[in-house]
């Protein structure tokens, strides 16, 4: 691959127009011939703008970028055709003839609309091929994204830079580690973790990165590429290097005054530019979750200056994109004085901060609005892709606009999605896309009514009512960090009152009867509508997601019944509750299996598809399993952080753990004795390690109809929620 190749971009409006017309054809097929699309040069000082009008069966789109043109298409599809180009339903069938739409002109109030989190490149996009990336980039454009993070292909840059500093090829590969854990290596959290990358993986990913960056740039996006966070192998850092711990990983931080910091960082940026072209925006996180080795304000400021100097020498227009996560995650360390010293050490025009979890735990207020630097209001939403629907819709609809109107909100330059896992809760991201173009959504009730109609493709009273219920009980602004905790995906324990080990950073309460009852009602309404009038891809997803929460909630209730029966010594009640607990998991697995994206075999087959040998295939599959389960080894603090209610994962991993738990407790009940927590933990670890060693990915086969499967499961349960007492 030519390291000096020039990466094409949308150098002219004509180039952007061609890219947007290609996107149009991918989304609507031959109906693209009925759309006139033009990209114009933006007015000096003007924001990204689109204008769309439709009459006499033709649509006219005029826009100032490829992204704006794609967003105009989304606007037309939603407002004229009652269609949404979501993750569930990307290729759309348009009505005949094309419906009219009054002339609409929209200018985004935001300079930047950001997308992607480092973690998403593992928890979601790890095994995506070009076809899936092409769909995602089209989705980005139609949702207004113009500042996407790109981590694909970064292995190549690190390997070449390490070799240039006389690190052996074998040692460099080991330091970079396995593909599944690259995002955390790039943030300085881990190293030497997972099976070392192979030549084939590195070459294939570099080729994919070129295609991704070419497409993003052709549409007028500005990719954000990684920079150097300050961590290198111990043998390169030297014996006096500081140690920074991240959940048991011992990382070596180069002192910011050491010439190596500047030399290595500059070499990495230059290598990246030679391979992937110019990018003025670089993501660098020296202390994403680890505390700096020296807490003096002068010391943290020196780290910031070192990163800034390196970026500026490489590119005088370079901008440092910093995740604001540490300022809330480690708020005990990042007191206002330290935070301001760190942020203030960087020239204002060179720093853009992501308020990473602004919808739940904003950092702006705790840092004097990032010491006056520019920043983006971002939605983190999903930690690791854990199961369950949630999201504070009203906050997302109104808070960015409210903050921007404040005197201290002048540094707010945009909004963004920083979720750790994609393809969850599409309602939240459709709302965020409208906020990205309109600044706010004044009436969430009106917006949800329109969303429900577009989601199911018709004006349906039952679907509207289902979404009203979901808005009140799932998407309300409760202040909770996520959906109810999944007992199914939590690690069983036989100590501590039999309470399972919940994953890191999970603070939301478990589902109770008051949580499950309205969800059953919403599920019934969606099922009735789908059975009577059919279901769009989006509606099928909703049926599975709502059913997932119902079954997860029922599993939680049955778990409580098991514990109560055990504690009072009632063997018959224990058996009944245990059977119901396992049945809920079986049904959960069946329901998830109706969607390919909720199947373990889809994930593992994706891992296998990147392999060029049996050895490579085995290592990729092993790390694919590890990422979703123990992360490091059974019992590690990150255990089940990325747990999901996937078919195959529930049946093959979670349910066997809970069977072991039930057998252990039943044996104690039968014998009238005590269980042995140490013996149980050893048996559980053996079970988990056995699952990790498997290389089998199947069975892969056609997915069953979600409507039929959901109806069959629901028929075995109590009657409507209004009468069941649940």
Q: Examine the pLDDT at 364 and tell me if it is beyond 90.
A: yes
In a domain, 19, yes or no: yes
Cα–Cα distance for residue pair 511/556, rounded to 1 Å: 7
Residues 498 and 622 in one domain: yes
Q: With cut-offs at 50, 70 and 90, classify the pLDDT of residue 44.
A: confident
**pLDDT, position 14:** 93
Which residue did the predictor score with more confidence, 481 or 418? 418
- Tokens matching residue 292: 């700096």
The verdict on residue 117 lying in a domain is yes
Are the beta carbons of 16 and 218 closer than 8 angstroms? yes
The verdict on 522 and 485 lying in the same domain is yes
Q: Which domain holds residue 646?
A: 467-724
Clarify whether residues 194 and 282 are in a common domain.
yes
- pLDDT value of position 672: 73
Last residue within a domain, chosen from 51, 86, 107: 107
pLDDT digits (tens, 9 = 90+) for 153-184: 999 999 999 999 999 999 999 999 999 999 99
Domain presence at residue 373: yes
- The answer to whether 254 and 264 are in contact (CB under 8 A) is yes
- Residue-wise over 453-483: b if at least 16 C-beta within 10 A, else e? bbbbbeebebbbbbbbbbbebbbbbeeeebb
Average pLDDT, the chain: 93
2 lies in some domain: no
Determine, yes or no, domain membership for 503. yes
- The answer to whether residue 67 is domain-embedded is yes
Per-residue model confidence as pLDDT tens digits over 97-132: 999 999 999 999 999 999 999 999 999 999 999 999
Query: Is the residue at 481 inside a domain?
Result: yes
- 422 and 321 together in one domain: yes
Indicate if 333 and 367 belong to the same structural domain.
yes
pLDDT tens column, 411-429: 999 999 999 999 999 999 9
For residue 696, what pLDDT is reported? Answer: 73
Q: 338 and 258 share a domain?
A: yes
Residue 8 clears pLDDT 50, i.e. is over it: no
Query: pLDDT at residue 260 above 90?
Result: yes
**For position 239, what pLDDT does the model report?**
87
User: Rounded distance, CA 124 to CA 129, Å?
Assistant: 12
Helix (H) or strand (E) holding 35: strand 35-39
pLDDT at 4: 34
How far, in Å, CA of 480 to CA of 360, rounded?
A: 8
Considering the domain architecture, whether residues 570 and 717 belong to the same structural domain is answered as yes
Domain boundary among 67, 86, 107: 107
Q: pLDDT of 533-587, one tens digit each?
A: 999 999 999 999 999 999 999 999 999 999 999 999 999 999 999 999 999 999 9
State residue 697's pLDDT score. Answer: 67
Examine the domain organization and report whether 401 and 491 are in the same domain: no
Does 96 share its domain with 234?
A: no
Average pLDDT over residues 5-15: 62
Q: How many domains does the chain have?
A: 3
CA distance 614 to 454: 46
CB within 8 Å of 535: residues ≥ 6 apart: 456, 529, 543, 706, 707
* Mean pLDDT, residues 591-618: 96
Q: How far apart are CA 339 and CA 331, in angstroms?
A: 9
SS (H, E, C) 657-726: HHHHHHHHHHHHHHHCCCCCHHHHHHHHHHHHHHHHHCCCCCCCCCCCCHHHHHHHHHHCCCCCHHHHCC
Q: Would you say residue 720 has pLDDT above 60? A: no
Same domain, 49 and 155: no
How much of the chain, in percent, has pLDDT values that exceed 90?
A: 86
Residue 93 pLDDT level (bands cut at 50, 70, 90): confident
Instruction: Give the model's confidence band at 701: pLDDT under 50 very low, under 70 low, under 90 confident, else very high.
Output: low
Q: What is the pLDDT of residues 322-338, one digit of tens each?
A: 999 999 999 999 999 99
Calpha distance 722→726 (Å, rounded): 8
Residue the block writes with tokens 């290609």: 22
Per-residue pLDDT at 2: 36
The answer to whether the predicted template modeling score (pTM) of the entire model surpasses 0.85 is yes
- CATH number, domain at 707? 1.20.120.670
Q: How far apart are alpha carbons 451 and 432 in whole angstroms?
A: 13
CA 538 – CA 455 distance, rounded (Å): 6
724: pLDDT strictly greater than 60 = no
Last residue of a domain, one of 442, 458, 484: 442
Average pLDDT over residues 609-634: 96
Q: How confident is the model at residue 671 (pLDDT cuts 50, 70, 90)?
A: confident
Same domain, 236 and 344: yes
Is residue 568 located within the same domain as residue 691? yes
- Of 503-517, 648-662, 703-717, give the lowest mean pLDDT range: 503-517
Query: The domain spanning residue 62 has which CATH number?
Result: 3.30.379.10
């Amino acid at each position: 691959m030519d390291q000096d190749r020039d990466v094409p971009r949308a150098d002219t409006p004509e180039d952007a127009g061609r890219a947007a017309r290609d996107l149009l054809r991918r989304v609507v097929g031959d109906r693209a011939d009925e759309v006139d699309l033009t990209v114009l040069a933006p007015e000096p000082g003007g924001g990204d703008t689109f204008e769309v009008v439709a009459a006499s069966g033709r649509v006219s789109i005029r826009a100032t970028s490829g992204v704006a043109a794609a967003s105009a298409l989304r606007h037309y599809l939603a407002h004229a055709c009652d269609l949404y180009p979501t993750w569930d339903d990307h290729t759309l069938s348009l009505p005949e003839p094309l419906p009219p739409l009054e002339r609409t002109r929209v200018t985004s109030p935001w300079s930047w609309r950001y997308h992607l989190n480092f973690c998403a490149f593992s928890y979601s996009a790890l095994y995506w091929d070009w076809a899936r990336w092409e769909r995602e980039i089209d989705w980005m454009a139609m949702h207004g994204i113009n500042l996407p993070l790109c981590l694909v292909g970064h292995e190549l840059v690190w390997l070449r830079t390490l070799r240039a500093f006389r690190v052996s090829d074998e040692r460099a590969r080991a330091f970079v580690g396995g593909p599944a854990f690259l995002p955390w290596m790039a943030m300085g959290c881990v190293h030497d973790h997972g099976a070392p990358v192979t030549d084939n993986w590195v070459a294939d990913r570099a080729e994919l990165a070129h295609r991704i960056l070419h497409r993003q740039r052709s549409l007028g996006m500005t990719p954000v590429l990684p920079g150097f966070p300050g961590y290198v192998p111990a043998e390169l850092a030297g014996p006096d290097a500081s140690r920074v711990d991240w959940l048991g990983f011992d990382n070596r931080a180069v002192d910011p005054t050491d010439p190596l910091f500047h030399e290595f960082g500059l070499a990495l940026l230059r290598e990246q530019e030679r391979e992937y072209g110019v990018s003025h925006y670089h993501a660098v996180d020296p202390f994403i979750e680890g505390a700096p080795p020296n807490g003096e304000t002068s010391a943290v400021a020196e780290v910031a200056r070192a990163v800034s100097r390196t970026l500026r020498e490489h590119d005088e227009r370079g901008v440092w994109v910093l995740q604001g996560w540490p300022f809330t995650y480690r708020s005990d360390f990042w007191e206002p004085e330290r935070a301001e010293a760190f942020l203030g050490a960087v020239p204002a025009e060179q720093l853009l901060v992501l308020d990473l979890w602004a919808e739940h735990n904003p950092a702006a207020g705790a840092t004097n609005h990032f010491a006056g630097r520019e920043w983006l209001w971002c939605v983190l939403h999903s930690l690791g892709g854990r199961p369950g629907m949630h999201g504070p819709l009203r906050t997302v609809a109104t808070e960015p606009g409210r903050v921007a109107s404040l005197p201290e909100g002048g540094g707010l330059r945009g909004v963004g999605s920083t979720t750790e896992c994609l393809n969850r809760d599409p309602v939240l991201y459709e709302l965020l896309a409208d906020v990205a173009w309109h600044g706010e959504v004044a009436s969430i009730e009106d917006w949800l009514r329109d969303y429900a109609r577009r989601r199911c493709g018709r004006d349906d009273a039952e679907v509207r009512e289902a979404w009203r219920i979901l808005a009140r009980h799932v998407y309300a602004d409760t202040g909770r960090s996520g959906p109810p905790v999944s007992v199914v995906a939590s690690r069983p324990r036989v100590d501590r009152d039999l309470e399972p080990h919940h994953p890191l950073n999970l603070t939301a309460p478990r589902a109770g009867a008051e949580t499950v009852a309205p969800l059953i009602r919403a599920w019934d309404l969606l099922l009735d509508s789908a059975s009577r009038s059919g279901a769009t891809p989006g509606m099928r997803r909703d049926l599975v997601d709502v059913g997932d929460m119902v079954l997860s909630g029922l599993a939680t209730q049955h778990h409580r019944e098991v514990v109560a029966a055990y504690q009072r010594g009632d063997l018959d009640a224990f058996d009944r509750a245990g059977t119901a607990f396992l049945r809920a998991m079986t049904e959960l697995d069946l329901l998830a299996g109706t969607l390919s994206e909720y199947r373990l075999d889809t994930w593992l087959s994706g891992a296998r598809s990147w392999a060029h040998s049996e050895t490579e295939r085995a290592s990729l599959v092993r790390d694919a399993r590890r990422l979703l389960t123990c992360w490091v080894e059974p019992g590690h603090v990150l255990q089940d952080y990325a747990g999901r209610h996937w078919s195959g994962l529930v049946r093959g991993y979670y349910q066997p753990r809970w069977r072991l738990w039930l057998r252990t407790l039943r044996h104690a009940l039968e014998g009238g004795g005590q269980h042995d927590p140490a013996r149980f933990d050893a048996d559980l670890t053996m079970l988990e390690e056995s699952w990790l060693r498997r290389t089998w990915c199947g069975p892969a086969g056609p997915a069953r109809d979600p409507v039929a499967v959901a109806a069959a499961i629901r028929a075995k349960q109590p009657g409507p929620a209004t009468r069941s007492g649940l």
